[in-house]
């Protein structure tokens, strides 16, 4: 079933959208009528392929390389989007990486790399977007004057041994999102997060590629299946549309029930 054009004429930046969840979000936003800026860090080919797919469906997209942890790159990302589409309505702070290690072995580089992309990148991008939303005023395209959506994780809530940099960044993202919802709401800017659980993407392929590992992972998911990127893309369209206009300051978990702690079934 096709998505209604709930974001018609709006312009969205989706960071880290050449692959995985970001790619699906960019695709679904474009299917809902949004112009999309596809941001990538190193996978130019995949980003261009997505742009081609969007254009084949009659949508508008540009591709911009940028490291979201770098202020100059972030300025370039926003400038190129405004140049191409004349305004901004939606930012999805999706770019994120994992650099897993046992805490006792974790290097400062791996700590900082994850903080830079997952948390500082979200700060830098959200700040630029909010400044633009305030300056451009009401574009008459949506009930709100702009929407910020953070791609958080079940790990803003569930601690994660062996991934302390990642879980700490997602916990920080939760407070970033909620503090911004408090601070920017009166400007008409709507702020939320999505909290994906285990979604089949390259970031966690070690955990689902072989059957034994997949079955172990499924023990964490009451609904009994691993998530697909489209589960997140569709939720993003709803959360960014006027159908969700009164949803503000919330994380919507899209996780097959992972945050219900199924380890307690028959236990505790
Ligand atoms: C992580 C995945 C993981 C999932 C559930 C996500 O935020 O990026 O690697 O499978 O959480 O633990």
CB 149 within 8 A of CB 93: yes
Nearest CA residue ID for atom 4, ligand 1: 198
Which among 61, 53, 55 is positioned nearest to 34, based on CA atoms?
A: 61
Examine the pLDDT at 1 and tell me if it is beyond 60.
no
Per-residue confidence (pLDDT) for residue 2, from 0 to 100: 56
Task: Measure CA 187 to chain center.
Answer: 22
Per-residue confidence (pLDDT) for residue 167, from 0 to 100: 98
Please give the residue that has the higher pLDDT: either 203 or 252.
252
Per-residue confidence (pLDDT) for residue 129, from 0 to 100: 98
CB 136 within 8 A of CB 85: no
Examine the pLDDT at 96 and tell me if it is beyond 80.
yes
DSSP-based three-state secondary structure for 251: strand
What lies within 8 Å, CB to CB, of 140 at 6+ separation is none
- Calculate how far, in angstroms, residue 197's C-alpha sits from the geometric centre of ligand 1: 6
Please give the residue that has the higher pLDDT: either 206 or 66.
66
CB 239 within 8 A of CB 231: no
In this prediction, residue 4 has a pLDDT band, given cuts at 50, 70 and 90, of: confident
Question: Residues 75-87: pLDDT tens digits?
Answer: 999 999 999 999 9
Nearest CA residue ID for atom 7, ligand 1: 153
- Per-position DSSP letters for 85-102, written without gaps between them: HS---EEEE---------
Tell which atom from ligand 1 comes closest to the C-alpha of 160: 12
- Calculate how far, in angstroms, residue 226's C-alpha sits from the geometric centre of ligand 1: 11
Instruction: Determine what percent of the chain is predicted with pLDDT higher than 70.
Output: 99
255/113 Cα distance (integer angstroms)? 26
202/258 Cα distance (integer angstroms)? 20
pLDDT average, residue stretch 213-234: 97
CB of residue 163 inside a 6 A radius of ligand 1: no
217/231 Cα distance (integer angstroms)? 18
CB 34 within 8 A of CB 149: no
Examine the pLDDT at 209 and tell me if it is beyond 70.
yes
Task: Indicate the pTM of the whole model.
Answer: 0.97
CB of residue 259 inside a 6 A radius of ligand 1: no
Question: Residues 142-167: pLDDT tens digits?
Answer: 999 999 999 999 999 999 999 999 99
**What beta strand segments (E) does 101-179 contain?**
146-151
Task: Measure CA 144 to chain center.
Answer: 19
Q: Is 261 a catalytic residue?
A: no
CB of residue 118 inside a 6 A radius of ligand 1: no
Examine the pLDDT at 116 and tell me if it is beyond 80.
yes
Handedness of CA 257, 170, 45, 241 (dihedral sign): positive
CB of residue 203 inside a 6 A radius of ligand 1: yes
- Calculate how far, in angstroms, residue 198's C-alpha sits from the geometric centre of ligand 1: 5
- Calculate how far, in angstroms, residue 161's C-alpha sits from the geometric centre of ligand 1: 12
Site to probe by mutation for ligand 1, drawn from 154, 172, 213, 260 as the one with most ligand atoms within 8 Å of Cβ, is 154
223/238 Cα distance (integer angstroms)? 21
Per-residue confidence (pLDDT) for residue 3, from 0 to 100: 64
What lies within 8 Å, CB to CB, of 128 at 6+ separation is 74, 75, 78
R_g over Cα of the chain: 18
CB of residue 152 inside a 6 A radius of ligand 1: no
The enclosing H or E element of 214 equals helix 211-218
107/196 Cα distance (integer angstroms)? 27
């Amino acid at each position: 079933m096709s998505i209604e054009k709930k974001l018609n004429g709006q312009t969205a930046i989706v960071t880290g959208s050449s692959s995985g969840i970001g790619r699906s979000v960019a695709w679904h936003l474009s299917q809902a009528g949004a112009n999309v800026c596809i941001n990538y860090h190193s996978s130019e080919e995949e980003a261009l392929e997505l742009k081609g797919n969007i254009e084949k469906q009659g949508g508008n997209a540009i591709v911009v390389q940028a490291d979201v942890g770098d202020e100059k790159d972030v300025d370039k990302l926003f400038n190129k989007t405004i140049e191409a589409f004349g305004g901004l309505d939606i930012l999805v702070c999706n770019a994120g990486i994992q650099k897993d290690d046992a805490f006792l072995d974790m290097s400062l580089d791996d700590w900082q790399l994850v903080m830079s992309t997952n948390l500082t990148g979200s700060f830098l991008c959200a700040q630029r977007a909010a400044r633009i939303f305030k300056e451009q005023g009401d574009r008459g395209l949506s009930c709100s004057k702009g929407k910020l959506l953070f791609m958080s994780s079940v790990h803003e809530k569930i601690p994660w041994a062996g991934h302390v940099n990642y879980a700490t960044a997602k916990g920080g993202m939760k407070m970033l999102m909620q503090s911004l919802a408090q601070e920017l709401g009166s400007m008409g800017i709507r702020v939320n997060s999505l909290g994906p659980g285990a979604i089949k993407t390259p970031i966690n392929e070690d955990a689902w590629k072989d059957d034994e590992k997949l079955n172990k992972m499924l023990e964490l998911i009451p609904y009994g299946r691993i998530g697909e990127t489209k589960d997140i893309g569709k939720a993003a369209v709803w959360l960014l549309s006027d159908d969700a206009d009164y949803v503000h300051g919330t994380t919507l978990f899209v996780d097959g029930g992972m945050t219900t702690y199924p380890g307690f079934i028959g236990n505790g």
